Amino acid sequence: MASFKIPKGTTVIDTDEYDLIEQKRREAQRRLQEKQIEQFEGVSIPLPVMMQSAILIATLHASYNVYGSEPFQLIWKLIIFIGAQVVRRLTNKQKKMMEETNEEVGKKSSTKKKTKGKKGVEEVKTEEDTKPVEKPISPGSRFKFEVVYVFFLPFMLSLLYYPELININTVLMLNVFDGSLLTRSVIQLFFLMFTSQDELVLLRNFSAIVLNVSFHYVLTHVSKLKSLDNVDCNLFSILLTNVLFLAKKPRMDGEPINLPYNVLWGTLMAFLASTGINYMVSLPLVITKNKHVRSVILFTTFTISFPLLANYIIDVGDNTQTPIMWLLNYVQESKTRQKILFTWLSFLLVLIPNILIFKSKFSLNTSRKLWHFLILALIIYPFQVDPTFVKISLAGTITLFLAVEYLRYLKLEPLGNLLDEKLRSFADFRDECGPIIISYIYLIIGIATPLLIADSPVGLISLGVGDSIASIIGKKFGELHWPNSKKTIEGTLAFISTTFIVGYICKEYLGYFTHLTTGNWLLVCTLSGILEGNSILNDNILIPAFMLICEKLFTT
């Protein structure tokens, strides 16, 4: 009988021991698969996601009852497409998990099993170590529920305030999906065919897609997807595309000029042009060994080009005056505007140094929220007295904050390092994630957007009072946390109660919310408070936009 030679160094075990090892291996594999599936299911439908979904679906249902099915025709196609994408991703992840499990179990060094039979000794592989390594699911590979807001916020705001832009904004949302630039562009162009048959409209929409993709590309590279994640980049790129392109229309004869929008558009265009000029100037300066000289040259170029371009681009409806001269005359012709401006400057000159001096006596969270309270106090009454002047000021402030962040981001001397030091002292964990300090830009956008779109103070109230009190109360007294969240139920109750009380005072004594009943205002505050407590999307963007949507839906 021919003999079978066992390779040298191979462990030989009997049949009973092998069966025991095989049983342990199968049991370990089963436990690992169950744990991974449990993890996967746990992150797929947690309670906060269910609560957010319920609120968003209820809001969509209310809008469907008011506006009918026509605005939703394209969104139904997108829902089918999105559903297919989600199912594909979930299936691929499930398959990948199973493959990883089998790979971990199968790549252990093998041993040999020795059995006797008619043909002599047979060779069988078994496991040397039956305990596989458990790999948790990477957070970066999970499906982010916040992607839903890239669809919800632009769609609802378009539906309620700019219905003519609803289709193109719906198409722009598709840029959020994973894939190459070419793949995302082809998908958007495919759905673009469903929007309109008019050639001019199609050309405009095609241009909007190109512009939106460009903004997204710049934001992702500047933020390195740390200061801003993919959801933030898409929301901001859609916002910029609307402000700078889609909402821009030629003014008809006799049509009143929209001064706040013109100021916002003109200053943003001047800012973008100035950064472009600075980039071109910086290219030949690469050879400059002296970094200080390079920094000063770029600082000088920007600080000169930005105001000059803004003074040239902004349209104030008066060709006889430059925008700067027009603004000076606009302020001088009204005692009310002079008082408002004097009050703002006085508060800022007195409070900013004091907050910086006594900042060490407060926690970081409290010192940050002081700015929220300050903005509420400085705007809530003046807006009722002269809304146009306040909106012009806010429109200019948005771009001014972007200019400040640009100087700080590049640390352009002589102010760049000073700005970085002072702004970093108020930075939270989100600002520390990447190169951009985004909090104060989020704040001004969240406050200004509802005022500019609909003369609504919901951004002022929700961020100036609700979010601030909720954060302070939640951190100091909160004990009951929302599931899988650092936010507390006590903070949510504080948000609901304070926003309702301040909104009620504004309604009764300042003339705000005349179109809302007290019960509807309470409903707006309650839904917004629950959403704030369960969402991880930045509150300064989500809550003002959601409250603005609800305010319009519940208008009597």
Residues 275, 276, 277, 278, Cα dihedral to 10°: 50
Cα–Cα distance list, 529 to 190, 364, 393, 469, 496 (Å)? 38, 23, 29, 12, 5
Q: How far is residue 228's CA from residue 226's CA, in Å, rounded to a whole number? A: 5
What band does 69 get if pLDDT is binned at 50, 70 and 90?
A: confident
- pLDDT of 44 > 70? The answer is no
Question: In sequence order, which ranges of 107-198 are alpha helices (DSSP H)?
Answer: 147-161, 166-172, 181-192
Q: Which residues contact 82 (CB under 8 A, 6 or more apart)?
A: 151
Per-residue pLDDT tens for 431-488?
777 888 888 899 999 999 999 999 999 999 999 898 889 888 888 888 888 887 788 8
What band does 81 get if pLDDT is binned at 50, 70 and 90?
A: low
- pLDDT of 114 > 50? The answer is no
By percentage, how much of the chain surpasses pLDDT 70? 76
Q: Which two tokens stand for residue 483?
A: 């599931």
Nearest to 267 by CA among 308, 300, 231, 228: 308
Q: For 422, which DSSP code?
A: H
Q: What is the length of the chain?
A: 556
Which has the higher per-residue pLDDT, 538 or 104? Answer: 538
Nearest to 83 by CA among 37, 138, 147, 25: 147
pLDDT at 210: 92
What band does 113 get if pLDDT is binned at 50, 70 and 90?
A: very low
pLDDT at 73: 75
Best mean pLDDT range from 109-118, 173-182, 258-267, 409-418:
258-267
Nearest to 542 by CA among 25, 55, 75, 37: 55
Amino acid identity, residue 528? S
Count CB-CB contacts under 10 A for residue 165.
20
Q: Which two tokens stand for residue 20?
A: 């025991």
Q: How far is residue 396's CA from residue 378's CA, in Å, rounded to a whole number? A: 16
Half-sphere exposure at residue 32, Cβ-oriented, CA atoms within 13 angstroms: 23
- pLDDT of 43 > 60? The answer is no
- pLDDT of 324 > 70? The answer is yes
- pLDDT of 288 > 80? The answer is no
Point out the least confidently predicted range of 59-68, 128-137, 218-227, 442-451.
128-137
pLDDT at 327: 92
Point out the least confidently predicted range of 47-51, 185-189, 426-430.
426-430
395-403: average pLDDT: 94
Predicted model pTM = 0.80
Is residue 502 within 8 Å of residue 531, measured between CB atoms? no
**Phi, then psi, of 426 in degrees rounded to 5:** -110, 5
Mean pLDDT of the chain: 81
Q: For 141, which DSSP code?
A: G
pLDDT at 90: 61
Question: In sequence order, which ranges of 224-334 are alpha helices (DSSP H)?
Answer: 230-241, 259-282, 291-313, 323-332
Count CB-CB contacts under 10 A for residue 292.
10
Residues 402, 404, 407, 410, Cα dihedral to 10°: -60
**Strand 110-117 vs strand 12-13: parallel, antiparallel, or unpaired?**
parallel
Which has the higher per-residue pLDDT, 102 or 272? Answer: 272
Beta-bridge partner residues of 481: 488
Q: For 284, which DSSP code?
A: G
pLDDT at 145: 81
Is residue 437 within 8 Å of residue 431, measured between CB atoms? yes
The sheet carrying 120-127 orders its strands as 12-13, 110-117, 120-127
Q: How far is residue 231's CA from residue 430's CA, in Å, rounded to a whole number? A: 14
pLDDT at 269: 96
Count CB-CB contacts under 10 A for residue 391.
21
Amino acid identity, residue 92? N
Burial class for 496, CB neighbours closer than 10 Å (0-12, 13-18, 19+) = buried
Amino acid identity, residue 511? G
Q: Which two tokens stand for residue 264?
A: 């916002």
Per-residue pLDDT tens for 234-248?
999 999 999 999 998
Q: How far is CA 430 from the centre of its chain?
A: 12
Per-residue pLDDT tens for 187-214?
888 777 776 667 888 888 899 999 999 9
**Phi, then psi, of 122 in degrees rounded to 5:** -110, 150
Give percent helix, percent strand, percent coil of the chain, each to the nearest 5.
75, 5, 25
Burial class for 303, CB neighbours closer than 10 Å (0-12, 13-18, 19+) = middle
Q: Which residues contact 499 (CB under 8 A, 6 or more apart)?
A: 461, 462, 465, 466, 525, 528, 529
- pLDDT of 111 > 50? The answer is no
Point out the least confidently predicted range of 51-60, 124-133, 157-166, 397-406.
124-133
298-326: average pLDDT: 91
Q: For 242, which DSSP code?
A: I
Per-residue H/E/C for 214-248: HHHHHHHHHHCCCCCCHHHHHHHHHHHHHHHHHCC
pLDDT at 83: 66
Point out the least confidently predicted range of 78-92, 214-228, 229-243, 258-272.
78-92
Nearest to 466 by CA among 376, 364, 548, 363: 376
pLDDT at 6: 52
Q: How far is residue 255's CA from residue 168's CA, in Å, rounded to a whole number? A: 25
**Phi, then psi, of 124 in degrees rounded to 5:** -135, 135
Which has the higher per-residue pLDDT, 511 or 194? Answer: 511
What band does 426 get if pLDDT is binned at 50, 70 and 90?
A: confident
- pLDDT of 156 > 60? The answer is yes
pLDDT at 15: 61
Q: Which residues of 36-64 are buried (b: 16+ CB within 10 A; e: fewer)?
A: beebeeeeeeeebbebbeebbeebbeebe
What band does 215 get if pLDDT is binned at 50, 70 and 90?
A: very high
